[in-house]
């Protein structure tokens, strides 16, 4: 006998009646979600379940509020008894997604079709506040949002998109440059306060998840370059997000380039983000051009009147150079640029980045390398996706955020 062969699965592994009941619930919910309204007879035919089983499961789904009976009757095309239609209730539960933004927390409630049913932006707690002020602010914002939208169903799960190091498995968060903000149990604490499962994800990783899952055919290997207050990247290889040993994979902005002299917020000199971050580009451009160009790269592009100012052009080039090391290392099918409001609607910067990346990456001028701009809604979409993963698969919303 081959001693390397895997151990056989225990044949006595029992499948309980509650497992079967759950599987039947999942099967009928999935049919109603995929096909729209159906009668009990339709469900029986499509699922292969017996009539008494369908009757029992539907009774349970109606009692639990997953399904409604709008009172419409369908007569079968080929004759037979008319039946009352059943409809999956997309609003039976909502998912919450919270995105950490500059000075603010953006919260959305999404129904089980992925449609945003409520959205609000509130000020973030002060930087010197204790970390629990953040969890309290999230609970307060959710409470206010639900009070303003009483039609939204109960919260089923929540996810937070956060900067810094995130341990997705244990729901813990660390901010490397803040004393005492290491390994904070943000997920477990919120789960205790809200009584629902809570997931956490790095904001750049969320942008990549959102970008990949919006594709008609999601690429298995992809990376995303993110330019905001900091500069980072996220990578997925063969469908798996790369978190790293301590959850801080993707610190592209703290890779050092020769010839730079500015001290980075990490305390070192020469980091990529000292010449490519949103703050640097805004400051440099307004100093050179005079006046305030606005908040985003698209504003700067408009202000310049169709050309890229040198400082921005140089930043796109340096970012592409850094990204080319990433591309040559992991060989992604797609490189996304964006996910932060700063890069939303930018065209010239994205084109410059894409052109330089194709030039620097190997093989040179690779036509097979797709470079795509994504907007900051992709990030929110990624946070929603993480919240959805906390639900049983048959209840997960569509991955695309609808409006």
Of residues 264 and 298, the one with the C-beta less far from Zn ion? 264
Taking the CB of residue 303, how many other CB atoms lie within 10 A of it? 15
Task: Kindly state the tokens that stand for 324.
Answer: 């080319």
Closest distance to Zn ion from the beta carbon of 237 (Å): 25
Of residues 99 and 254, the one with the C-beta less far from Zn ion? 254
Answer yes or no whether residue 318 interacts with Zn ion by CB under 5 A: no
Task: Kindly state the tokens that stand for 315.
Answer: 């930043």
Of residues 266 and 311, the one with the C-beta less far from Zn ion? 266
Residue 90: CB partners within 8 Å, gap ≥ 6? Answer: 111, 112, 113, 115
Of residues 12 and 261, the one with the C-beta less far from Zn ion? 261
Answer yes or no whether residue 237 interacts with Zn ion by CB under 5 A: no
Cα(204)–Cα(328) distance, rounded to whole angstroms?
20
Question: Can you tell me which residue has the tokens 């994205």?
Answer: 350
- My answer on whether omega of the bond before 209 falls inside 30° of 0, hence cis, is no
Of residues 271 and 300, the one with the C-beta less far from Zn ion? 271
The count of residues interacting with Zn ion (CB under 5 A) is: 4
Answer yes or no whether residue 168 interacts with Zn ion by CB under 5 A: no
Answer yes or no whether residue 272 interacts with Zn ion by CB under 5 A: no
The secondary structure element, H or E, covering residue 68 is: strand 67-68
Closest distance to Zn ion from the beta carbon of 315 (Å): 15
Answer yes or no whether residue 205 interacts with Zn ion by CB under 5 A: no
Q: What is the DSSP letter of 70?
A: -
DSSP tally for the chain: helices H, then strands E: 12, 16
> Residue 156: which of 85, 60, 66, 30 has the closest Cα?
66
Task: Kindly state the tokens that stand for 316.
Answer: 């796109």
Of residues 105 and 264, the one with the C-beta less far from Zn ion? 264
Of residues 266 and 321, the one with the C-beta less far from Zn ion? 266
Of residues 79 and 267, the one with the C-beta less far from Zn ion? 267
Closest distance to Zn ion from the beta carbon of 338 (Å): 22
> Residue 163: which of 131, 202, 128, 130 has the closest Cα?
202
Cα(192)–Cα(196) distance, rounded to whole angstroms?
8
Answer yes or no whether residue 264 interacts with Zn ion by CB under 5 A: yes
Answer yes or no whether residue 166 interacts with Zn ion by CB under 5 A: no
Answer yes or no whether residue 231 interacts with Zn ion by CB under 5 A: no
Closest distance to Zn ion from the beta carbon of 263 (Å): 9
- Judged by CB under 5 A, the residue of 99, 254, 318, 358 near Zn ion is 254
Cα(317)–Cα(311) distance, rounded to whole angstroms?
10
Q: What is the DSSP letter of 243?
A: -
- Judged by CB under 5 A, the residue of 271, 298, 316, 357 near Zn ion is 271
Answer yes or no whether residue 275 interacts with Zn ion by CB under 5 A: no
Closest distance to Zn ion from the beta carbon of 275 (Å): 11
Task: Kindly state the tokens that stand for 23.
Answer: 């599987």
Part in contact with Zn ion (CB under 5 A); list of ranges 84-92, 97-105, 258-266, 278-286: 258-266
Answer yes or no whether residue 266 interacts with Zn ion by CB under 5 A: yes
Task: Kindly state the tokens that stand for 80.
Answer: 């037979």
Part in contact with Zn ion (CB under 5 A); list of ranges 174-182, 243-251, 253-261, 285-293: 253-261
Under the rule (CB under 5 A), what is the footprint of Zn ion? 254, 264, 266, 271
């Amino acid at each position: 006998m081959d001693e390397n062969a895997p151990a056989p699965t225990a044949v006595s592994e029992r499948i309980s009646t509650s497992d079967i009941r759950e599987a039947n619930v999942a099967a009928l919910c999935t049919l109603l979600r995929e096909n729209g309204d159906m009668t009990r007879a339709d469900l029986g035919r499509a699922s292969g379940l017996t009539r008494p089983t369908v009757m029992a499961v539907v009774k349970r789904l109606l009692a639990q509020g997953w399904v409604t009976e709008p009172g419409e009757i369908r007569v079968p095309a080929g004759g037979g008894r008319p039946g009352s239609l059943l409809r999956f209730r997309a609003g039976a539960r909502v998912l919450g997604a919270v995105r950490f933004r500059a000075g603010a927390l953006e919260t959305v409630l999404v129904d089980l079709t992925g449609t945003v049913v409520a959205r609000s932006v509130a000020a973030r707690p002060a930087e010197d506040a204790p970390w629990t002020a953040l969890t309290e602010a999230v609970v307060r914002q959710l409470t206010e949002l639900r009070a303003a939208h009483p039609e939204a169903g109960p919260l089923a799960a929540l996810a937070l998109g956060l900067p810094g190091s995130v341990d997705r498995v244990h729901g813990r968060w660390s901010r490397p440059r803040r004393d005492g903000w290491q390994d904070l149990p943000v997920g477990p604490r919120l789960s205790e306060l809200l009584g629902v499962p809570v997931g956490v994800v790095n904001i750049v990783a969320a942008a990549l998840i959102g970008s990949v899952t919006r594709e008609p055919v999601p690429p298995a290997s992809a990376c995303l370059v993110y330019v905001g207050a900091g500069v980072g990247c996220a990578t997925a290889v063969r469908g798996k997000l790369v978190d790293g040993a301590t959850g801080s994979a993707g610190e592209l902005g703290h890779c050092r380039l020769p010839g730079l002299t500015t001290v980075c917020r990490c305390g070192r000199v020469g980091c990529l983000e000292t010449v490519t971050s949103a703050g640097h580009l805004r400051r440099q451009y307004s100093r050179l051009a005079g006046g305030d160009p606005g908040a985003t790269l698209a504003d700067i592009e408009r202000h310049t009147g169709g050309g890229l100012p040198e400082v921005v052009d140089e930043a796109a080039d340096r970012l592409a150079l850094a990204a080319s090391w990433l591309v040559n290392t992991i060989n992604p099918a797609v490189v996304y640029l964006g996910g932060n409001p700063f890069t939303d609607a930018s065209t010239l910067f994205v084109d410059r980045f894409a052109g330089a990346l194709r030039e620097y990456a190997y093989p040179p001028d690779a036509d097979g390398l797709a470079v795509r701009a994504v907007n900051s809604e992709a990030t929110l979409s990624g946070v929603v996706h993480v919240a959805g993963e906390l639900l049983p698969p048959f209840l997960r919303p569509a991955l695309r955020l609808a409006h």
